[in-house]
Structure formats: structure tokens, C-alpha cells
Amino acid sequence: MRLNCLDKIHFFIDRAEWTIGAYTHTLYLVRASGIVKVTPVLPDELQCLYDLAYNLRWVWRSETRQLFRIIDPAKWDACGDPLQVIRETSSTRWEELLANDRFLDDYERECRNLEAYMAADSWFQETHDPDATGRASRDPLTAYFSMEFGITPCLPIYSGGLGVLAGDHLKSASDLGVPLIGVGLLYRNGYFTQTLSREGLQVENYSDHDAANLPIKPVLDAAGKQLEVSVRFPGKRFLSIAMWTAQVGRVTLLLLDTNLPENAKDLRELTDRLYGGDEEHRIRQEIVLGIGGVRAVCAYCDNAGLPRPQVAHLNEGHAGFLGIERIRGRMDNGLNFDEALAEVRSSSIFTTHTPVPAGIDRFDMSMVRRYLNPDDDGASKLVPGVPVERVLALGAEDDPGRFNMAHMGLRLAQRSNGVAKLHGVVSRSMFSSLYPGFPDEESPIGSVTNGVHMPTWISQTMRPIVKRIVGEGNLATADSWDHIDRISDEELWKSRNVQRACLVQAARKAVRQSWLDRGASEAELGWTDDILNPNVLTVGFARRVSTYKRLTLMLQDADRLREILTNEERPVQFIIAGKAHPADGGGKYLLQQLVQFADQAGVRDRIVFLPDYDIGLAQMMVAGCDIWLNNPIRPQEASGTSGMKAVMNGCLTLSVSDGWWDEMADDELGWTIPSVENADASTRDRLESLALYDLLERQAAPLFYERNDDGVPGGWVERMRKSLSVLAPKVSATRMVRDYVTEYYRPAQGTYLQMVDDPQASAHFVQWQQKLRAEWDKVAVTALSCNDQDALAAEKDIAQCQSVAAGNTLSMTCSVKLGKLSPDHVCVQAVCGAVDTNDELHDVRMVTMKPAANGDFHAEIPMVNPGNVGVTVRVVPKHPLLVSPAEMGLCTWA
Ligand SMILES: *Cc1c(COP(=O)(O)O)cnc(C)c1O
């Protein structure tokens, strides 16, 4: 079968987004006497091309990308950067284009389209009730803080999953009309680009990015000067921070830049690299993001005449310092620390992204102290007026010498979440020490499963298919894929073949280039033209190379893998990519092992490593692979989003039951590698790799190669159909952002308004909390009876109550000592559930007990199922401004 890469055009559009421009060197034999700078001039008639280039909506609108491609196809294919195309186009080419009606029509259409997109109301405007909040539906509601944003390779301020997620969050917020301002750092070098050495070791390359060439604009004040804010650093130094914006559709992303002449050299370099440098460098970056970020958002909104956002969303703990700056602002307005903290908590959301304690951001306590209070005189210079010890207490953890950014995030945010259901479970247990007295399940940490921005991640081949499924206008906000039956088996299968062939073609080029970078000569590289095969079952694996993701699990039994790759009838090929963190020696070693395996004659045409994994390469891979492999150590993958991108392109999932797949795993939609728990690491790896080989060889490959009379693998296509229709709506960032808005942003705004609308509310709430804390050790359950029989357990024994016939109610009564508290300060709860042999309760049900006239509390509880039911009682705080009874960590059990 010959495939004409649907066609070259589409391939090049996708490809162009990840190719780094090739450098051409020309030797000049005569020395120039002078240099004339020829500045680019865009004709007046085409000025709107700047709007199209500076608004990153082109990243997810293929028609706009096509327009830029027409200007200079070769350049576009090499750089994929609209601004670079504009910068480097000659005046003669502009003349030609001005005479080209088709180009002018497309140009007009795209300009009008962007204008309409920016002006249109969307989901948020339609569901927003202005009376409830008094705010216009476009006024900024939430400021979203993140250390990285992955929007396009043209704005290299991301390293991996966290950044891409943040980028997708902004894009979907834009599509849904959610009024959000992003806040991040402008890195001069960004993250490194990756090549390999001859021996297969990762080589890291850094390059300078000139702000003038990036799709960002300076924020200017009324006098035309770039807006700056400053932060005080130790040594009586002020760090100036300049502000830029990137426009992500309707969402503004504010970027902070310390590379200014007025800053000392060490401070200028503060925003050089993402995740480079030592702890000191890191805390400085986080101070810029958190403290500088809040000052910047305020300055930006004031300057633009916008109301300031009410809600802050911390994408991971890196942004935690924002809370203390928000507290400072309120203390300046006369609140005390606790009142200010209560207001900040009500309107902050913290999202944690790691289920691994070692992954949490922690600093030396003395270092944090030094930044807060460099003169050691008790008064914070960083956030003047805020008591230093109180700030340090926000980051306290078991180790008194460490300041824990996740603990600070949880203490600063009344609402918090993990990024998949399982990750929520793990996080509730991991942070349960913050909520003593409550079972893990009640830790006030929810979950919002991650999602990916469909219009960014579906390939050019899938785009028209998806449009037919979800409806033409709904690409950005689609939530039903029920109309998948509009697409025939043949068509679905053809889309797979086309996408796979495009990937194979791109992979051959990338492997050739990689070998050139590794020092091989063109003459030795003929073989790279024939590696991989566009008709062979293709497995993709691309992600950060960190140990828990187990890049080399597939190498556990190298002979078995070799057999699978080279199987005569049912061969399988692997395409692999990923960067190791520069400081992660272990990760680099794994990467080298994999590369060395792939270098071997006999398999090098069936398993390839493609260097420099980034958004562009990810787009190619998730589109072209038939199976997306994910084999982390459960439950260490918080969510994992690359598999979601693959799903949207009709790729099937083969994964350990972890992250997002744990809640969506289904044998009809993909394949699950059973995770081996309670075994040593080598047994676990061996058994899980065995399962991986078996699933590939015995289930996936036969299904893929079993063709009907039309040459279509019916069973495979059936799975694609189910996977697309069931999973795609669940893994979309549209769903994710809606969840954040309805479950987090709006409720947080509600609590916040309750607090600020009444000038005394936060003061009363704080007094109430203080009273509760002071009195809580006096709270006790002194008597408990079930159907009038004493049920309070003596020392060790459990009290045996009378029996109740199923269908009747159990009457529970208790007496509670409350000290100086009144009954409406607390909620007394009857707790019933199944009991195990240790008398511990499971599957508990809580019933609120009502105060009776004599001061006791009482509840009637229906008993439905026969069997032993354990009962007890507990007392927890109750207040309308508490989101969860667990948040104060106060609980008294009978
Ligand atoms: C999606 C993406 C990731 C995250 O993938 P995981 O599955 O979460 O590991 C990392 N890097 C890039 C470039 C991506 O596009």
C-alpha cells in the first residue's frame, strides 16, 4: 500500500511545529566595512497579520497557520513561527501577496474570525449570573499561577507535563470564555534542547531567546514606559521585574522578566532557565512568581482599568508565596494576620501534582527566614508588616528544618485538589497529618482529573473527522462524541494509516538528523530511509525520563522484546522520546540504555529514539501511534496527559492502572497492565514487563493484524470507536476547566464574597476559630446510648448493644461536654458502618445528631441490612465559612 501522506501539506504543518530551524553558514571572503540593518516592513494593508501572529490562537486554528504557510511555505515548514515569517519576508513577496486575491480573501477571513472569536460570548458568559456577584462576565475572576506554560514551541517557557497542562488550561479557558489571567516567568533560555552523543548520552543545549522575537508584548503604562514592579531581596537590594503579556486567545498571560539593566548580574539571571540552578536560585524564582506575580497582576489590572481578580489558583506549590503577598495587601488595609489569612484562604485554590513525597518542593527553613527577614530584626522586608514566624509556620512539616511548599499551599487554600481520582486518594493520605483526628478519606483535598486541549492535540487528519462527530462549530467546546457512527470503519482505519505513515516519515528524518548530530556522515546513513514501516503496529512511549515512569521496563527481557519487534507475521515497532532532567544522572543512564538497545543492528529499524521531545514532537507521536504505552510504578503517576492526547487521535491505551487510566480503564477500550503490589522492585518490574509483553504479543498484535475482506481490522477499529466516544469527552480540558469553574472558582468566589461583603465577617470568623481552638481540649463525649442502653466503650472493650430488627431504627443519644462552646459551634455526628475483626469501622455513614431539650444530642438511624453495625459519635466544628469540617484539624471521638 502506498500512502500519500494526507497529504504532504498536513504533514508539513504538523512537522513544522517541531522542527528547529536549520542553520546555514556562508563563508564571506571579503570583510564588510559596515553593516546596514534592513528592518522588516509589513504593508499597511496586511497589518492585521500582526494581530494574528501575536494572538496565540493560531496555535489551535489550522486555517490561520495555513495563511502563514502561504506567505513562505519553506520558511514556515522550517520554523512554524508566524512572527519569524513576517520578520523575514521580503518586500517583493509582500507585493506579490497583495496582488493575490485568494491570499487576501483568506487573510480577511482569518482577521474577521479572530475579531469575532475575541468578541463572542461563550459558555461562561452564558452560565454566569452577574447579579450573584456584581461583576461583568468578562472581568478577571481568577489569576492562575504556574512556573511554566506550554503553549507552543515558539514560546519556550515550559519543560513538560505541568507546563503543557497549564497551557491547555489557558486555551480551554479562552474557548469557554472563562475570565482568567495567567501568571508565569519569562525564561531567557527556557528549557534545554536535547541531542545525543555518539554513545547515546543526552546532550543539553541552551540558547538565548530575544524577547523581541517572541510572541509577547511589553505592558506599557500611560507614558509608554514598560510597567515594572519590584521585590526586596537580602542585602538591601531591590529586584525590578518587567512585565510582558502573551495573548492566548481571550486569556492574557502575564510574564515576569528580571533581565533588566538596573538589576545586579546575579539577579538579572534569575529568570534564565526553567528548573536550573540550586535551591537558592529556585527560591528566588518562586519569590518572583509568587510575590512579584501578585504585585504584577494588581499593577496590570490597575493600569488597564480592570477590576483585580478575586480568586488565585496555585498550579503546584511553586507559586505558594503569592499567599503571603495577598495577606500583606489585606494587612495594609487594617486586617490582622488571621483575618487576612482567612480571606486569602477563602479565595485560593491549590492543585498538587505529585503523589511522591520526594517530588515536593521544600526549602531550608533558615533560607526562607533569610529571604523574609534578611536583617534578622523580626520585621519582614520581603512582605513588610507580615509576622515572619507566622509565615514560617505556614510551611512547617515533620522536619523542623524544612519549609514545605505543598503544606503552605494547603494551609493557604481552603480548596485544594489532586489531578485524578486516584491521585486525590493518595494526596488525602499523604497530607493527612495536616488534618489530625480525621480519617484520610476526609482530608479536604478533592480531585479534578486533568484534561487536554482538543483543538491543539488532534492531528490535521483527525480534525475533519472530529468536526463531523462533534459538529462543525463545537470543536473547541465539544462534550459529546456520540455521533461517532457518522464515520465508517474504512474511514477510521484510513485515518490511522495516514497518521502512522506521516509519523514514520517524520521519524526517519529525525533519526537521520540525530545520527548526523551524533557525528555520523551522510554516506553511512542510507539505512535510515528504510527504518520503521508504515503498516506495522506502532507503539509510542514519550515522556519525561524519570525513574518512576520506567522507560526501560520494555528492556527487562531484551530477547523477548527482540522477538516481538521482529515477529515475521505480526511485527511491532516502537517510537520513543523523552528528556531527562539535566541533574538526573539516573534518568540519563536509563535513556542511554534505551538508545544503545535501539542502536543495535537487527532492531534499529523497529525501535527508534527521537531526540528533543517537546510539544511539536508530542503532536506527531500521539497522532501517529496505534498504541500509547504508559508503565509507571503505581500510584506514582499523578495523572499523565500524553495518553489523553493519544486517545483523541484514535490511538489505544496500554497502561498500568495509574493516573487518569485508573479511573477510566476498561478492557473494551484498551489494555491494562495489572500492577504488582507488595513485591520487591525487581519482582514487580519482571512481572509487569511480562504482562506488557503478553498483552502486546497475544492480544494487541493479533487484533491489529486480523483483517476482514476490505483489509480493515474490524476488532481494532471497534475499540478505536469505543475509546474515542467514551474517553475523548472525559479527557478534554473543556471538561476539566468547567469542573474547576463550577467546583472551585465559583464556590471560592462565593465564600470570598460572603467574607468581604460584611466588613466584620472575617473578624468574627477568626474570633470563632480562636475560641474553638482554645476550648477544644475540653470537648468530650461523656455518655452514649443506643436504644437506651449504654454504648460507650469502657477502656478496651467494645460495648455490645441490643439487637435491632432490619427495617427498624436505632435510637442514638449522647451527652457532650462543650466547655465554653455552645451547641451551635459544633456538629455532633453519629457514625455507623461495618466493623472488621479489629472493631474498626468501614463504609461509614454520618448522621447529624440534633440537640435535645435536656442538652443531649439525638438521632434516629434506619437499620436496613442485617449484620453487625459499628456505631460511635464524634464532634466537629461547624461554621458557614468552613468548606470542610476537617480543615481546622479538630475532631473529638467518643
Ligand atoms: C503532554 C506532554 C507531557 C506530559 O506527558 P505525561 O504523559 O504526563 O508524561 C510532557 N511533555 C510534553 C512535551 C507533552 O506534550
Mean pLDDT of 871-877: 95
Residue whose CA lies nearest to ligand 1 atom number 15: 615
Mean pLDDT of 541-554: 95
Closest ligand 1 atom, residue 158 Cα: 13
Same domain for 280 and 176: yes
- Quickly list DSSP for 716-775: HHHHHHHIIIIITTTTBHHHHHHHHIIIIIHHHHHHHHHHHHSTTHHHHHHHHHHHHHHH
pLDDT digits (tens, 9 = 90+) for 335-350: 999 999 999 999 999 9
What's the CATH number where 573 sits? Answer: 3.40.50.2000
Hey, what's the cell of 276?
536550573
Ligand 1 pocket check: which of 17, 164, 191 to mutate, most ligand atoms within 8 Å of Cβ?
164
Whole-number Å distance, alpha carbon 857 to ligand 1 midpoint, is 53
Distance between CA 516 and CA 536 in Å, rounded?
26
Hey, what's the cell of 206?
541552551
Closest ligand 1 atom, residue 165 Cα: 1
837 vs 849 pLDDT, higher one: 849
Same domain for 391 and 286: no
Mapping DSSP to helix (H, G, I), strand (E, B) and coil, where does residue 300 land?
A: helix
In contact, 184 and 254? CB cutoff 8 Å: yes
Closest ligand 1 atom, residue 618 Cα: 15
Same domain for 246 and 356: no
CA angle 122, 124, 128 (to 5 degrees): 125
Q: What is the pLDDT of residue 695?
A: 98
Q: Which of 425, 444, 463 is the last residue of a domain?
A: 444
In contact, 271 and 256? CB cutoff 8 Å: yes
Mean pLDDT value across the chain: 93
Q: How confident is the model at residue 243 (pLDDT cuts 50, 70, 90)?
A: very high
User: Is residue 219 one of the residues assigned to a domain?
Assistant: yes
Q: What is the pLDDT of residue 3?
A: 34
pLDDT digits (tens, 9 = 90+) for 578-620: 999 999 999 999 999 999 999 999 999 999 999 999 999 999 9
Whole-number Å distance, alpha carbon 193 to ligand 1 midpoint, is 15
Q: Side chain identity at 849, as an amino acid letter?
A: M
CA angle 190, 191, 192 (to 5 degrees): 125
Q: Side chain identity at 216, as an amino acid letter?
A: I
Closest ligand 1 atom, residue 645 Cα: 1
Mapping DSSP to helix (H, G, I), strand (E, B) and coil, where does residue 362 land?
A: strand
Q: Which of 77, 95, 124 is the last residue of a domain?
A: 124
Whole-number Å distance, alpha carbon 614 to ligand 1 midpoint, is 8
Same domain for 681 and 725: yes
Report the share of the chain in percent with pLDDT over 90. 85
Q: What are phi and psi of 324, to 5 degrees?
A: -75, -25
Whole-number Å distance, alpha carbon 599 to ligand 1 midpoint, is 25
Distance between CA 878 and CA 826 in Å, rounded?
5
Same domain for 695 and 564: yes
Mean pLDDT of 759-776: 95
Whole-number Å distance, alpha carbon 381 to ligand 1 midpoint, is 39
Residue 66 lies in domain? 47-124
Hey, what's the cell of 66?
495555513
Which residues surround ligand 1 with Cβ inside 6 Å? Answer: 160-161, 164, 543-544, 613-615, 618, 640-643, 645
Same domain for 323 and 297: no
Same domain for 283 and 326: no
Which 8-state DSSP code applies to residue 883? S
Residue whose CA lies nearest to ligand 1 atom number 9: 543
Closest ligand 1 atom, residue 617 Cα: 13
Whether omega for the bond prior to residue 729 falls within 30 degrees of 0, making it cis, is no
Q: Where are the strands (E) in 379-523, listed by range?
A: 402-404, 415-418, 446-447
Q: What is the pLDDT of residue 554?
A: 98
User: Is residue 764 one of the residues assigned to a domain?
Assistant: no
How far CA 327 is from CA of 76, 130, 140, 505, 746, in Å, comes to 48, 27, 20, 55, 21
Mean pLDDT of 135-163: 95
Distance between CA 405 and CA 403 in Å, rounded?
6
Same domain for 541 and 407: no
Rg of the chain over Cα atoms, rounded to whole angstroms, equals 30
Beta strands at 572-577 and 537-542: parallel, antiparallel or unpaired: parallel
User: Is residue 833 one of the residues assigned to a domain?
Assistant: yes
pLDDT digits (tens, 9 = 90+) for 2-49: 333 433 334 344 433 333 334 444 555 677 888 888 888 899 999 999
- Quickly list DSSP for 221-274: -TTSPBPEEEEEETTTEEEEEEEEEEEETTEEEEEEE---TTS-HHHHGGGSBT
Ligand 1 pocket check: which of 543, 614, 648, 662 to mutate, most ligand atoms within 8 Å of Cβ?
543
Q: What is the pLDDT of residue 796?
A: 53
Whole-number Å distance, alpha carbon 549 to ligand 1 midpoint, is 12
Q: Above 90 in pLDDT, residue 835?
A: no
Hey, what's the cell of 884?
470542610
Q: What is the pLDDT of residue 276?
A: 83
Q: What are phi and psi of 740, to 5 degrees?
A: -60, -40
User: Is residue 551 one of the residues assigned to a domain?
Assistant: yes
Mean pLDDT of 622-626: 98
User: Is residue 331 one of the residues assigned to a domain?
Assistant: yes
Distance between CA 753 and CA 803 in Å, rounded?
49
Same domain for 167 and 108: no
Distance between CA 217 and CA 190 in Å, rounded?
18
Q: Above 50 in pLDDT, residue 499?
A: yes
Q: Which residues pair with 670 in a beta bridge?
A: 653
Same domain for 76 and 174: no
pLDDT digits (tens, 9 = 90+) for 780-811: 999 998 888 887 766 556 667 778 888 999 99
Q: What is the pLDDT of residue 868?
A: 86
Q: Side chain identity at 858, as an amino acid letter?
A: H
Residue whose CA lies nearest to ligand 1 atom number 12: 160
Q: Which of 287, 309, 331 is the last residue of a domain?
A: 309
Which 8-state DSSP code applies to residue 368? H
Q: What is the pLDDT of residue 794?
A: 62
Q: What is the pLDDT of residue 8?
A: 39
Distance between CA 144 and CA 326 in Å, rounded?
14
Distance between CA 121 and CA 138 in Å, rounded?
9
User: Is residue 811 one of the residues assigned to a domain?
Assistant: yes
In contact, 459 and 649? CB cutoff 8 Å: yes
Whole-number Å distance, alpha carbon 643 to ligand 1 midpoint, is 9
User: Is residue 96 one of the residues assigned to a domain?
Assistant: yes
Hey, what's the cell of 261?
539593566
- Structural domain tally of the chain? 5
What's the CATH number where 824 sits? Answer: 2.60.40.10
Distance between CA 686 and CA 700 in Å, rounded?
20
Hey, what's the cell of 179?
475570565
- Length, in residues, of the chain: 894
Residue whose CA lies nearest to ligand 1 atom number 1: 642
User: Is residue 483 one of the residues assigned to a domain?
Assistant: no
Same domain for 319 and 181: no
Mean pLDDT of 839-861: 91
pLDDT digits (tens, 9 = 90+) for 705-725: 999 999 999 999 999 999 999
- Side-chain half-sphere exposure of 228, counting CA atoms within 13 A: 16
Residue whose CA lies nearest to ligand 1 atom number 4: 161
Mean pLDDT of 651-668: 97
In contact, 359 and 316? CB cutoff 8 Å: no
Same domain for 319 and 305: no
In contact, 872 and 894? CB cutoff 8 Å: yes
- Quickly list DSSP for 13-29: HHHHTTPPPPP-----S
Whole-number Å distance, alpha carbon 641 to ligand 1 midpoint, is 6
The reported pTM is: 0.94
Q: What is the pLDDT of residue 29?
A: 66
Closest ligand 1 atom, residue 452 Cα: 1
